[in-house]
Chain A
């Protein structure tokens, strides 16, 4: 209130001063020369009718003290210069003036923000602009006439200064400290030397090595997320060889469960989920394929630079990794992570929704791979780090140029062999029948602007996905063999058609057009087919359905006649879009649940026009197809042997089609038209700044980055991202994540933020030593795991010693191990493991979420999964954004919205209540007891079995006594042995030792 009043007073003073100055005009000189009317009358008019409004309503935010949006309204020159989004006023032209638009509460701005001006004031300001925006008087030297720097821009010096921050400095491999003389054998590798040096500096002693039983339990959970089996514990205890521990570690590193455990950590970073949340929680088809990719990649120890490249550009690699056995494209699966975010159902503003998705992608990529908060630079340059809005929109350009696809990933050799086989068999048919008459080109009667008629020798500017459309439109002489209700037919295909059934109907594929700006009401597509789909994808918005978006997609299912399919795009004039012509291999959102369209039919498109009129019905074209069954019959009358040959050839051609396996699809990225993005001033696409070419962050990629060749730009981004010299962060960030998983806390305690707001490294030399070691090893993560777990530091016991706790309260120097509660997944997997229910099957579609009556809301699946998830590891339970598993949430499984490199480790009664009262736990406890009782043994021996399974140790005497007393009590109360033992197992699950690892 005070500010407003004082401005009011200043306004009044300004008016007085203006009036006074009228008499001294000659002496002061004027700011003139912008073509403004500077007569006495206009000056008076301004001072009387306009300046008071500006002073009272605007200058509080756009005056001498604050310049919001870089705009000042206290001098004419400042108004003409305008703010970050350009001049505020075009003299004489109210409709072109941003200021007039803003006071009328237009699209871009609504000013003043709290309340619209009274109509009289709006009229006055509009009139003022119409009159040419005359100004009053002011002293030339005193005005704030020079352009106001946009307050949110980072200066070059400041950028350089910030770039000196430790995390941006090149990796430095420090000499390994020479310590440990007084402690022979403790320093097993350089990790220990760095740790010990830090401890010695603080007069700390490392904790003694933990008991072997604790070590095997710790190792097993850390590496596999599963408890050691009793026989494994026994074998390890019995192994007196000097390398017993190392062999145990090697065995665990080689276990296929290793990838499951490490993969789940990774999924936290990429906000992995299988539905897109929001209102109806639509499925993200194929999401689980990404999950399995991650598991296999960690098991295969795919070099981390390669893994990173595959994430950013796995669809563009000339030589992708092929999956062992099937030969399918493995690398492309990584790009699925781009599309695992939230997605809005029927957004009112589709462009804004695109920027929301892109913001999330930028956030995830920058935090996951770089430990940087690039998303903070969406509206203004980063407040603390050397990151600019230009960096943000340079990266946004990559996202905008990237499309979603469901790629066919089968080995091309296998698919080509199938295609060749079908073609050869077709040839055998064709050789035995008269040539087909050429097809008749449909009379198009096309109106409007021709977008495409497929008359070229190739698909030209189209992006081809999958195999159905081949590599070119049809050419003269093309024909296809097809079976419909009337039998086998040879159908000639006119040249110049995008046709997905030239080889056979069973193939799937999509062609996508270059990006274009929507200018007309309709996109008219002349098409025929069965099971095809034609869509206009606006601003990369995939979830096309009612309400709002229903007119953007049409199924093509009318068969073998040409018809115009009209898509009404009138609502999106001015937006960027592309056309998608699909025969299978796309997600269909028009129903209640998401499905992948069936690729059994075909789609043919002759031409595409943009028009303001819906296209008319196409003329029927004479059917020149040849009824091959009729040919057989005719032939049979004259030559039964040749008729038999033809019939057999047809049969073979048909059965080859029937045997064609369905293609394997994968959620993946695809390159679209390369698009550079504008800077969005203050984060709004409605106020555009300069165009920024696509490039990597300047602080890591350099100030001058050559423009990447079109079509390969994400590959270029990946190349820069993995450059260990220019980008030290990739290695630093990932080794820190591994460290956190083994030691409980990262060397940098903020694993997703290595910027100025993050935490400083506790052991900077060790961090860099690990990072360089990673790179030198060829980016082998298993090598790093091995170094960490073989260290003496990792093998320390966790029991606190009061003296050292006082010296190192948060255990920053790692003078002992940190005990940890198991993660949500490990708790559930452990319950299943002890009960014997655990099903170790790997990979595949997720087990449907078990829905309790307390899990309600829109998008609830119609059917619930089984309460025990079929015994599968938690990794394989469905992750539905709006129906996350309450048991897992209670134990801090993250809500998948952004990168989460540091899960909460909360301690809430819900955890106790779940273990006490959740029927799942009670049932598994009973199963565990039944298993124990099925083995003939003494009660004490049985008890030891339970302890071995859960805690990797036998029961202590006092514990055993307490448990046996309990059983006796229960028997005394009339419980059957099975009930009593089930109660005991339930008790063990509820002990803290069950869910903590020492």
Chain B
């Protein structure tokens, strides 16, 4: 039995469906944050607590858990002891099929001026290593995808808590008038735990992540139901007239007036969203930079996600999260077939991510945009079976770039096997605290009263990772 190996159910067919008359749905649009509109919720928005280094966040979610020892955390001991039993006590794992030590199939090389080693899985990102702050001592509290996904996204292993993007937009609002403040680009893989990874939990619905599909119709209910824009305009005029009549009768109630204002915003979004997704104005060089011309379809999809991420940032969208495209086999969850699985997943994202970093920097946006690359956990140094790796939350690697972090640095370390973080351990809560800090928000003061408690993204934890701050 698998741990839910992703089975591609035919993205193309779905894409087709989504364009047909029946294609609708999307809770996505539940979000569409606009400050005037959300003010009707009665929540007063806290402003930044101190000057921000970053205005926006692009969160590159590496669904499934990439292996630290095959990407950014070289462990020669694995190669030396390849095929031998591991000589430390192992923890229970998701599959409990513990095999021998598994050396990395990829070579590590020093890259950039900093000479930080990055494996051959990431040649393009490796070339940008001087922009990265690599954290090799990340830990999580959960070994199962769903709980770990909720934890990485919401600071709690349970369903129903607000996502980091929801907290960020709740705290800072959005700078976009026509788009939601928290957008998730769906390249094909909705992670285990589903859309609740991006939900607003007990925060008002305005802060939910809006899930936009990277290709095809981006979101439900965005295309006017009417055949012509003219007709829709005429209908909305009548709606407006009738609503004014109601206000005249019942008096000026905030809730009703705000609902009317929302209708206006919804109308604007119908053009703002297609405009966002329309990349025809981008130069051929830009498209090449991101990897649009790569023959590999998943690379093309992720290239588009990365480019749209930049366009979202340009439009003032506060928090952007990118989901991986399907490479046919599985997400970064190689319980077996590590070599081909990781190769394909890396191929899909490597050049687009490097392109994004390059492009942001060239446009002067990297300084104010925090880019975070993270999976929900890492993978075991010993094999699962013979050629896979199981889940490992005890020590793994993530990296940050831009938006107020140092480039070309390594923070923390794992043991010789790359199994446990042993130096400068970083908790998910610390990552959240740091992201908020860079956005100018004190994670201890960003609170929302729910169920008798002042809730925080970082619960009662979180320390800022000061050594990586620029």
| Residue in B24, B157, B259 whose CB lies within 8 Å of A919 | B24
Are B262 and A908 neighbours in the complex by a CB distance under 8 Å? Answer: yes
Interface string of A790-819 (1 = CB under 8 A from B): 000000001110000000000000000001
Are A908 and B205 neighbours in the complex by a CB distance under 8 Å? Answer: yes
Q: Is A904 an interface residue (CB 8 A)?
A: yes
Q: Considering the complex, which residues of chain B in the window 235-293 have a beta carbon less than 8 Å from any beta carbon of chain A?
A: 235-236, 238-239, 241-243, 245-246, 249-253, 255-256, 258-260, 262-263, 265-267, 269-270
Q: Residue on A with the closest CB to B210? A: A910
Assembled-state Cα–Cα distance A990/B225 (Å)? 13
Are A344 and B146 neighbours in the complex by a CB distance under 8 Å? Answer: yes
Q: Considering the complex, which residues of chain A in the window 981-998 have a beta carbon less than 8 Å from any beta carbon of chain B?
A: 983-984, 986-988, 990-993, 995-996, 998
Are B242 and A987 neighbours in the complex by a CB distance under 8 Å? Answer: yes
Contacts of B422 in A (CB 8 A): 105, 115-116
Most chain B CB inside 10 Å of its own CB: which residue of A277, A348, A855: A348
Are A958 and B245 neighbours in the complex by a CB distance under 8 Å? Answer: yes
Q: Is A897 an interface residue (CB 8 A)?
A: yes
Are B242 and A911 neighbours in the complex by a CB distance under 8 Å? Answer: no
Are B255 and A821 neighbours in the complex by a CB distance under 8 Å? Answer: yes
Q: Residue on A with the closest CB to B393? A: A348
Assembled-state Cα–Cα distance A932/B6 (Å)? 49
Are A890 and B29 neighbours in the complex by a CB distance under 8 Å? Answer: yes
Interface string of A907-922 (1 = CB under 8 A from B): 1111111101111111
Contacts of B245 in A (CB 8 A): 956, 958-959
Contacts of B145 in A (CB 8 A): 279
| Residue in A819, A898, A918 whose CB lies within 8 Å of B250 | A819
Tell me which of A233-241, A425-433, A962-970 binds B.
A962-970
Most chain A CB inside 10 Å of its own CB: which residue of B14, B33, B238: B238
Instruction: Give min CB distance, A837 to chain B, whole Å.
Output: 17
Q: Is A550 an interface residue (CB 8 A)?
A: yes
Q: Is B206 an interface residue (CB 8 A)?
A: yes
Are A348 and B243 neighbours in the complex by a CB distance under 8 Å? Answer: no
Q: Is B337 an interface residue (CB 8 A)?
A: no
Most chain B CB inside 10 Å of its own CB: which residue of A755, A853, A956, A992: A853
Q: Residue on B with the closest CB to A548? A: B96
Q: Residue on A with the closest CB to B213? A: A854
Interface string of B133-152 (1 = CB under 8 A from A): 00001000001111100000
Q: Considering the complex, which residues of chain A in the window 95-138 have a beta carbon less than 8 Å from any beta carbon of chain B?
A: 105, 113-116
Contacts of B146 in A (CB 8 A): 277-279, 344-345
Tell me which of B79-87, B106-114, B166-174, B445-453 binds A.
B445-453
Interface string of B360-371 (1 = CB under 8 A from A): 000000000000
Known: A345-B144, A856-B186. A907 touches B34 (CB 8 A): no
Q: Is A889 an interface residue (CB 8 A)?
A: yes
Known: A279-B146, A376-B453, A547-B95. A908 touches B31 (CB 8 A): yes
Assembled-state Cα–Cα distance A723/B379 (Å)? 54
Assembled-state Cα–Cα distance A910/B9 (Å)? 28
Q: Is B22 an interface residue (CB 8 A)?
A: yes
Are A912 and B262 neighbours in the complex by a CB distance under 8 Å? Answer: yes
Q: Is B23 an interface residue (CB 8 A)?
A: yes
Contacts of A973 in B (CB 8 A): 231
Are A348 and B93 neighbours in the complex by a CB distance under 8 Å? Answer: yes
Q: Is B314 an interface residue (CB 8 A)?
A: no
Q: Residue on B with the closest CB to A821? A: B255
Assembled-state Cα–Cα distance A916/B264 (Å)? 11
Contacts of A991 in B (CB 8 A): 239, 242-243, 246
Q: Is A356 an interface residue (CB 8 A)?
A: yes
| Residue in B23, B38, B193, B231 whose CB lies within 8 Å of A908 | B38
Q: What size tier do the contact residues of chain B reach?
A: 35 or more
Assembled-state Cα–Cα distance A852/B190 (Å)? 14
Q: Is B176 an interface residue (CB 8 A)?
A: no
Contacts of A758 in B (CB 8 A): 452
Assembled-state Cα–Cα distance A852/B199 (Å)? 18
Are B251 and A800 neighbours in the complex by a CB distance under 8 Å? Answer: yes
Q: Residue on A with the closest CB to B199? A: A895
Are A907 and B37 neighbours in the complex by a CB distance under 8 Å? Answer: yes
Contacts of B144 in A (CB 8 A): 278-279, 344-348
Q: Is A948 an interface residue (CB 8 A)?
A: no
Q: Is A499 an interface residue (CB 8 A)?
A: no
Q: Count of A-B contacts with CB under 8 A?
A: 324
Q: Is A906 an interface residue (CB 8 A)?
A: yes
Q: Is B30 an interface residue (CB 8 A)?
A: yes
Contacts of B33 in A (CB 8 A): 908
Q: Residue on A with the closest CB to B323? A: A856
Contacts of B213 in A (CB 8 A): 854
Contacts of B219 in A (CB 8 A): 854
Contacts of B225 in A (CB 8 A): 916-919, 921-922, 986
Q: Considering the complex, which residues of chain A in the window 340-371 have a beta carbon less than 8 Å from any beta carbon of chain B?
A: 342, 344-349, 356, 360, 363, 367
Assembled-state Cα–Cα distance A492/B181 (Å)? 73
Q: Is B123 an interface residue (CB 8 A)?
A: no
Instruction: Give min CB distance, B352 to chain A, whole Å.
Output: 21
Are B192 and A854 neighbours in the complex by a CB distance under 8 Å? Answer: no
| Residue in A896, A913, A959 whose CB lies within 8 Å of B269 | A913
Known: A105-B420, A821-B255, A992-B246. A853 touches B23 (CB 8 A): yes
Most chain B CB inside 10 Å of its own CB: which residue of A363, A376, A856, A998: A856
Assembled-state Cα–Cα distance A345/B260 (Å)? 44
Interface string of B1-12 (1 = CB under 8 A from A): 111101001000
Assembled-state Cα–Cα distance A413/B206 (Å)? 55
Tell me which of A626-634, A662-670, A731-739, A876-884 binds B.
A876-884
Contacts of B31 in A (CB 8 A): 908, 910
Q: Is B297 an interface residue (CB 8 A)?
A: no
Q: Is B204 an interface residue (CB 8 A)?
A: yes
Assembled-state Cα–Cα distance A116/B234 (Å)? 68
Are B259 and A911 neighbours in the complex by a CB distance under 8 Å? Answer: yes
Are B425 and A987 neighbours in the complex by a CB distance under 8 Å? Answer: no
Assembled-state Cα–Cα distance A819/B252 (Å)? 11
Known: A907-B37, A909-B266. A917 touches B1 (CB 8 A): no
Q: Residue on B with the closest CB to A896? A: B160
Known: A895-B201, A913-B269, A916-B221. A547 touches B1 (CB 8 A): yes
Are A895 and B235 neighbours in the complex by a CB distance under 8 Å? Answer: no
Assembled-state Cα–Cα distance A839/B28 (Å)? 29
Most chain B CB inside 10 Å of its own CB: which residue of A867, A906, A963: A906
Q: Residue on A with the closest CB to B178? A: A909
Contacts of A922 in B (CB 8 A): 225
Most chain B CB inside 10 Å of its own CB: which residue of A356, A757, A896: A757
Q: Residue on B with the closest CB to A867? A: B22
Assembled-state Cα–Cα distance A360/B159 (Å)? 11
Contacts of B32 in A (CB 8 A): 908-910, 913
Q: Is B105 an interface residue (CB 8 A)?
A: no
Assembled-state Cα–Cα distance A917/B223 (Å)? 7
Are B94 and A856 neighbours in the complex by a CB distance under 8 Å? Answer: no
Q: Is B18 an interface residue (CB 8 A)?
A: yes
Contacts of A360 in B (CB 8 A): 158
Are A911 and B262 neighbours in the complex by a CB distance under 8 Å? Answer: yes
| Residue in B143, B160, B270, B424 whose CB lies within 8 Å of A114 | B424
Known: A959-B242, A983-B235. 16 other contacts (CB 8 A): A342-B158, A356-B158, A373-B452, A571-B92, A571-B96, A799-B249, A854-B27, A881-B196, A889-B27, A898-B451, A907-B37, A914-B221, A970-B234, A983-B231, A992-B260, A996-B246
List 26 contacting pairs A-B, 8 Å CB cutoff, sorted by A. A114-B425, A115-B422, A277-B146, A277-B196, A279-B144, A345-B146, A349-B92, A547-B96, A853-B17, A853-B25, A854-B24, A854-B25, A883-B194, A890-B205, A904-B205, A905-B255, A908-B33, A908-B205, A908-B262, A911-B259, A916-B224, A916-B263, A917-B270, A966-B238, A969-B234, A987-B238
Contact residues of B with A, CB < 8 Å? 1-4, 6, 9, 14-15, 17-18, 21-34, 37-38, 40-41, 92-96, 137, 143-147, 157-160, 186, 190-196, 199, 201-202, 204-206, 211, 213, 219-226, 231-232, 234-236, 238-239, 241-243, 245-246, 249-253, 255-256, 258-260, 262-263, 265-267, 269-270, 391, 412, 415, 420, 422-425, 449, 451-453
